[in-house]
Amino acid sequence: MSFGRLERPTGDKPMSEINVTPLVDVMLVLLVIFIIAAPFMASRLALELPRADTPATAPAAPDAFVAVSLDAQGQLHWNDEPLDTDALRQRLRDTAQRNPATELQLRADASVPYGRVVQLIGLAQTAGLSRIGFVADAAPPPTGR
């Protein structure tokens, strides 16, 4: 037996290149996250009420509806008949008992505070009416200048 030096296998050389595969994976994941999140960050609500452009064809009228109007002085009207809040509450309750699918068409003057409109919506929902439509006047046609 010889007691010489044992030869070692030379093994692999050290890698001098950067492995970009994990970097590309991380970047693609971040890209997907930003693509999904971008619409949520850019969304904002800009409203100009109560004007609305009317479509070329009007939507079909519901089978059953009642019209509740609120004028600039705060007076309530049920199908053009003036009434107070308690009478409105009772009529909404009666209407909901007869047909819960009845649509409430709400017409409010532009000067009415938003909080008052929300109160009317709450009255209707408490009475059992869940279909509420907001009626607006058509916007004036644009002037061609």
Please indicate, yes or no, if residue 130 is contained in any of the structural domains. Answer: yes
Please indicate, yes or no, if residue 124 is contained in any of the structural domains. Answer: yes
Residue 48 confidence (pLDDT): 43
Please indicate, yes or no, if residue 71 is contained in any of the structural domains. Answer: yes
CB atoms near residue 99 (< 10 Å): 11
Distance of alpha carbon 122 from alpha carbon 68, whole angstroms: 13
Q: Find where tokens 């009845």 sit.
A: 102
In order along its 145 residues, the chain shows pLDDT tens digits of: 556 666 776 777 777 788 889 999 999 999 999 999 887 776 553 434 455 555 555 555 556 888 888 888 888 888 878 889 899 999 999 999 998 888 988 888 888 888 888 899 998 899 888 888 887 766 666 665 5
Please indicate, yes or no, if residue 87 is contained in any of the structural domains. Answer: yes
Do 76 and 83 contact (CB within 8 A), yes or no?
yes
CATH code of residue 66 = 3.30.420.270
Please indicate, yes or no, if residue 73 is contained in any of the structural domains. Answer: yes
Instruction: Tell me how many domains the chain contains.
Output: 1
Residue 132 confidence (pLDDT): 87
Please indicate, yes or no, if residue 115 is contained in any of the structural domains. Answer: yes
Range of the domain at 80: 62-138
